Amino acid sequence: MKIVVLAGGISTERDVSLISGAGILKALRQRGHQAILLDVFLGYKKRGDDVSNIFEKSDEMDDHVNDIQAVDPDIESVKKLRDGDEKGLFGPNVIEICRQADIVYMGLHGADGENGKVQAAFDILGIRYTGSDYLGSALAMDKGMAKKVFLQSGIPTPNGFSMKKSHVTKLPDEIGYPCIVKPCCGGSSVGMSIAKNEEEYNKALELAFKYEDEVVVEEYIKGREFSVGVIGGKSLPIIEIIPKSGVYDYETKYQPGMAEDVCPAPLSDEITDKMQTYAIDVYRELKLGSYARIDFLLDADDNMYCLEANTLPGMTATSLLPQEAKVLGIEYGVLCEQVIAQALATYNGETEELPAPGTNSHYGKDDLKSL
């Protein structure tokens, strides 16, 4: 197949996206596909250049990708690298190249790749892609809106609210300190803080508002952290994340050795089934597609809280979804192909009906197949 791995962009998760994209590219090529890696913002060459045979000269697309840094990237410096103006997300020849592909593997992360805008543009242009459509992407990316959906659907989630920069309010008594403050539509914990008092709360708001004009404030839940991958409406084994620093922040997520991941997570059968069931419920209620990863907290009394859904889960060396699949004997390349297979099934009208609310459907070792 001719596949564009779309990555990069100008979100705070640009580095994560490029590393994920490089891994996906290598795996797809090893499995015999004509795959190219394309930066959605920087594009390829100059606008108007001939790209009609781009898949036949894919070696020209190869570029060096640096390791992910311990801090989020300098986006203003990235913007200056583009040939021509900085307006608009799509760089030179991006649309033209994506139109030639059988499918676009969405290796994007963060606001510009997961908020539904790229997906909506591709829908209009008839470009096929992996992951959730524009509506599911937008619902999941807006943490304030997702929280409302969780509450209306009976999915447990920390108490919280969203706040605009133009209408800053004091912390309500029903939430209290400590509390979590984070950008409403960010990812990878960029701009997130734990505030223990009013002074820290004001500083946390100041930091979060540097990234966007809306933030989410929620009660702090002390507990163990878990994630559940979902592919095509079925859950993967649960993975537990144990940050060595005590906080699962940007550095901990992407610097090797900063966290211990345990999969399958050491949980009772009852809690495992309950968490996987909620993960599928989230997948359904947010109208997600292809695949996703749902994050949870479990407190000392085994109370469960859903934090958020990731519509384009990371595929780096430390990412969670590949680790969950590997427990089932599914290697990285086969997982990439399965993501594509789920997307193609949706376009062909071949997707299976999702399990009924409150029902768990999970993968066994022989369920995930390559193309």
pLDDT for res 62: 58
Sequence-separated (6 or more) residues with CB below 8 Å from residue 343: 103, 128, 129, 130, 131, 289, 290
Q: pLDDT at position 212, please?
A: 83
Collapsing DSSP to helix, strand or coil, 161 comes out as strand
C-beta of residue 330 within 8 angstroms of C-beta of residue 318 = no
Name every residue whose Cβ is closer than 8 Å to that of residue 87 and which is 6 or more positions away in sequence: none
Q: Is 229 helix (H, G, I), strand (E, B) or coil?
A: strand
Helix residue ranges, H only, 126-263: 134-141, 143-152, 198-209, 250-254
In this predicted model, what pLDDT tens digit does every residue of 72-99 receive, in sequence order? 567 888 888 887 777 889 999 999 999 9
CB count within 10 Å of CB 359 equals 11
- Domains in the chain, ordered, with CATH? 2-129 (3.40.50.20), 159-219 (3.30.1490.20), 224-347 (3.30.470.20)
Q: With contact defined as beta carbons under 8 Å apart, do 98 and 89 qualify?
A: no
Q: Is 256 exposed, middle or buried (0-12, 13-18, 19+ CB in 10 A)?
A: exposed
What is the per-residue pLDDT for 252?
47
Residues linked to residue 65 through DSSP beta bridges, in sequence order: none
Q: Which two tokens stand for residue 87?
A: 């307006």
Instruction: Please write the tens of the pLDDT for every residue from 1-40.
Output: 999 999 999 887 888 899 999 999 999 999 999 999 999 9
pLDDT of residue 249: 47
Identify whether the C-beta of residue 287 lies closer than 8 Å to the C-beta of residue 295: no
Rounded CA-CA distance 15/66 in Å is: 8
Closest alpha carbon to 253 in 336, 314, 181: 314
For CA atoms 149, 152, 155, 160, give the dihedral sign: positive
Which parts of the chain sit beneath pLDDT 70?
A: 58-73, 186-189, 245-258, 364-371
Q: What is the distance between the terminal CA atoms of the chain, rounded to a whole angstrom?
A: 10
Whether the full predicted model's pTM is greater than 0.95, yes or no, is no
Q: For residue 134, what pLDDT is reported?
A: 96
Tell me what pLDDT residue 60 has. Answer: 59
> Phi, psi (5° rounding) for residue 233?
85, 5
